[in-house]
A and B are shown apart, each in its own frame.
Chain A
Amino acid sequence: MTIRFEKMIPLPLLEQDTSGSKVWEADSILFEQGKRYIIEAPSGRGKTSLLSVIYGIRKDIRGEVYMENTPISGFTWKEWAHIRKTKLSYIFQGLELFDNLTGLENILLKNAITGYKTKEEITEMASRLGIEEFLHRKAGILSFGQQQRVAIVRALCQPFHYLLADECFSHIDLENSLKAYTLILEECKAQEAGLILTSLHETELPNVDERLEL
């Protein structure tokens, strides 16, 4: 599945100076499945907006986004629910965890509608990210870095064509970030999926096909 922007820009950004942006000023941007993209930009340049538009939770845009040549503006809520279960996975910047559920329950909440991973696989992923021992604590009392890793594991509990990761390493130390990145790349490879990852800073992350500046 390809994702293509045609002169797409979220409406609020029209009022900002976007000159020099490789994305907002471009006539067309193409994302290809299986490739890894990193979008680097300081705050307020529209990183989260870009991912939200692809994920269908922001619709205030000029231009159009095409998924496999189908304009997404025509998708119904039914199609979006299906896409979010099978084609797009999202690691939200705000994490969107439920504080009163444990880390594991948060992950299982997602896995319940996809049935994609076994409990063992989930535990294994969590232990690779060093959060296995925190899985049975309420998400609300975990540190933000721990919560981020819970959200990463949760996002991997579904089939997807693209993984949208919104500043998902912002509160994780470098060593653990690399572990998480490796896990994400493995999963993307296994699923032959693309990765669109946003970051505030220039990153040292390897194996990137394209870096886009907003």
Chain B
Amino acid sequence: MKFLYHILWKDHSRTHLLWAFLGTLAGFVLLLAGVQFYLDIRKVLSENQDLLDPEYIVINKKVNIGQTLGLSRVGFSAEELEEITAQPFADKVAPFLANQFPVSGYTENERFPDFSTELFFEAIPDEYIDVKSNDWKWDLDEGTIPIIIPQDYLNLYNFGFAPSQGLPQIPKGVISLINFTIRLKGSGQGNYGDYTGRIVGFSNRIHSILVPLEFLEWANETYGYFEKNDPAQVILVSKDPTDPAIIKFLEDKGYDTIREKLKSSRMNIILKFIISFLLVVATIIIGLAFLVFLLSLQLMISRSSEKIKRLNKLGYHFREISRPYIVLLGILMVGVTGLSLLITSLLTRQFSSMAAEWSLEISSSLYGIIYGMALGLIALISITNVVAILVSTKKLCK
């Protein structure tokens, strides 16, 4: 039988097969490495996110001219709230409660310059707040209102306002010692109450002046006379802030948020885009290489057509005649599978040790699905080629 191989393999074009082999190999490595790295990076992203708390995302409507002119609503209606709650990425959702009465605050302390300002308050359930403080409670009898302001406000004062006005900078610890007087005004003359306000913490999460929900509900009841507005801001908790659906939803709805918080979601979108691009390129390469393979083998067969006809005359069955081609195909396919898995796992190991330098933990061995993909694709290419070989050798046999 070795003579059969001797006869039929003589007619192959080494360059054709080499290019087909290299093309398939390149396509395979690109595809397998792409999928492997995608799985790795996705794992890293979600793992890193797990280290932190679930992401708290404060969203509001984009301010447009319509809202300025009072034509469109600033707040979220009940339906819109419901829609947000229904999103799969939103694990918990809470609207911000706002004060429905005028608030002002001022200092009466000889050590600090006098300060007087109109204020606003907002409140959300405690579980959404990143500041934990024992003072964060409302007790009517005590009459002290705990307040949380954004860390940024303090920074603005300490590093912006105070130096430019020749005022002293105030450390966090000190600011908590300063008591303010907070005046809540109800409707009608003389209907007001003075309370002591104290800053008990600084939030990095929420850009608003927060008071305990319990207090604000009580105060709205007691002093409130504004028409009740829809909440202007909504806070939602997402366990998977990498979910690209978040950004898409916000953009579709014209909602706004602090973009920084969603960078992993955005990164995920970019990553998906790059990977899909890579996969498309890999698929095209594999497709082309597959065609070259198919054509090279067909060319080989048609170059040998006289010999095949002769073998057929000698009594050779077309299956016996196609065996050398199938064996050649098999050798090349095993080569492609082995080499592409080898190269991909070397790349993976390299990538993993590089990532380790950036203290990212990435698997240094291939995922099972990579082997599955390689074998599946090889099977597909091989089967198609075997069928093509059988069909075209049979055509030459009488």
Chain A residues in contact with chain B, CB under 8 A? 55-57, 59, 77-78, 80-81, 84-85, 90, 92, 96, 98, 100-101, 105, 108-110, 112-114, 154, 158
Contact = CB atoms under 8 A, between A and B. Distances in A.
Interface residues of B, number: 20
Nearest to B7: A98
Interface of B: 1, 3-4, 6-7, 10, 307, 310-318, 320, 394, 397-398
Contact of A101 (B1, B7, B315, B318): B7
A86 to B, nearest CB: 8
B3 A57 contact: no
> Main SS of chain A's interface residues?
helix
A96 B314 contact: yes
B307 A84 contact: no
Contacts of A59: 398
Contact of A77 (B307, B313, B314, B397): B397
B3 A85 contact: no
26 contacts: A56-B398, A57-B313, A57-B398, A77-B318, A77-B394, A77-B398, A81-B315, A81-B317, A84-B315, A90-B313, A96-B310, A96-B313, A98-B3, A98-B7, A98-B307, A101-B3, A105-B3, A109-B3, A109-B4, A109-B314, A112-B4, A113-B314, A113-B315, A114-B315, A154-B314, A158-B315
Nearest to A102: B3
B7 A100 contact: yes
B397 A112 contact: no
A110 B311 CA distance: 9
Contacts, number: 57
A112 B3 contact: yes
A156 to B, nearest CB: 13
A112 B1 CA distance: 6
B313 A84 contact: yes
Given A77-B397, A90-B313, 10 more contacts: A56-B398, A81-B315, A81-B316, A81-B397, A96-B310, A98-B307, A101-B6, A105-B3, A108-B3, A113-B314
Contacts of B318: 77, 81
Nearest to B307: A98
A84 B320 CA distance: 14
Given A108-B3, A112-B3, A112-B4, A84 B398 contact: no
Nearest to A85: B315
